[in-house]
C-alpha cells in the first residue's frame, strides 16, 4: 500500500512485487489456511507472484497451490527448491526455516559418506524439478545460499 501512494503521479514503468509463500505454513501462522489468507491479502494489495519457501516434497507444493486457488489467489506460484548438500543441513534447514526434510531423504543422506550427500541431494532435487516441470509450473526458484555449483550440476543433468 505504501509504495502505491508514492507512485500516484509517477510515469509508467515495468515493475512488480513478489511475496513469499509457505507450503508448510509460516512458523508464526496458527495453521496453513490462516497463512494462505495472509498471503491473499498481500496479493490483493498488489503482489504479482508468489515464491515459495523451500520444500522437499512436491505434494506439499501442489496442495498449497490448490488451497491458494480455493482462496481466490490467481497469481503465479513459483516453487522454491534447495539442494541438500551436507549432512548438517538435515537438522539445520528444518531448525532455521521450519520445513520438513522427508525421512527417506534424511535417512539416505545421514547414512551416506559425507562426500556422497551432495550427489544424493542433486538427484533428489532433479526428481523434484522433472516432476514440477511435468506439472507446468510457471518457473522454479533455486535457493543457492552462496553456492551455485550444485545448481550448475543439476542443470547439466536436466539437459542430458
Q: Can you tell me the distance from the alpha carbon of 119 to that of 31, in angstroms, rounded to the nearest whole number?
A: 34
pTM recorded for the entire structure: 0.88
Q: Sketch out the chain's domains with CATH numbers.
A: 2-158 (3.20.20.220)
Q: Can you tell me the distance from the alpha carbon of 40 to that of 80, in angstroms, rounded to the nearest whole number?
A: 18
Closest by CA to 50, choosing from 78, 69, 80, is 78
Per residue in 122-131, pLDDT (tens digit) is: 999 999 999 9
Per residue in 66-93, pLDDT (tens digit) is: 999 999 999 999 999 999 999 999 999 9
Long-range contacts, 10-15 (Cβ 8 Å, 24+): none
Amino acid at each position: 500500500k505504501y509504495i502505491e501512494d508514492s507512485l500516484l503521479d509517477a510515469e509508467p514503468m515495468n515493475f512488480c512485487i513478489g511475496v513469499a509463500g509457505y507450503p508448510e505454513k509460516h512458523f508464526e501462522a496458527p495453521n496453513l489456511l490462516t497463512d494462505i489468507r495472509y498471503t491473499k491479502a498481500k496479493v490483493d494489495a498488489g503482489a504479482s507472484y508468489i515464491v515459495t519457501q523451500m520444500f522437499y516434497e512436491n505434494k506439499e507444493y501442489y496442495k498449497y497451490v490448490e488451497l491458494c486457488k480455493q482462496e481466490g489467489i490467481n497469481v503465479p506460484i513459483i516453487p522454491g527448491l534447495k539442494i541438500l548438500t551436507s549432512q548438517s543441513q538435515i537438522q539445520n534447514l528444518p531448525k532455521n526455516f521450519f520445513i520438513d526434510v522427508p525421512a527417506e531423504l534424511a535417512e539416505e543422506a545421514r547414512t551416506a559418506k559425507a562426500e556422497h550427500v551432495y550427489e544424493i541431494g542433486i538427484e533428489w532435487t532433479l526428481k523434484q524439478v522433472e516432476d514440477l516441470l511435468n506439472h507446468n509450473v510457471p518457473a522454479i526458484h533455486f535457493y543457492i545460499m552462496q553456492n551455485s555449483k550444485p545448481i550448475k550440476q543439476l542443470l547439466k543433468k536436466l539437459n542430458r
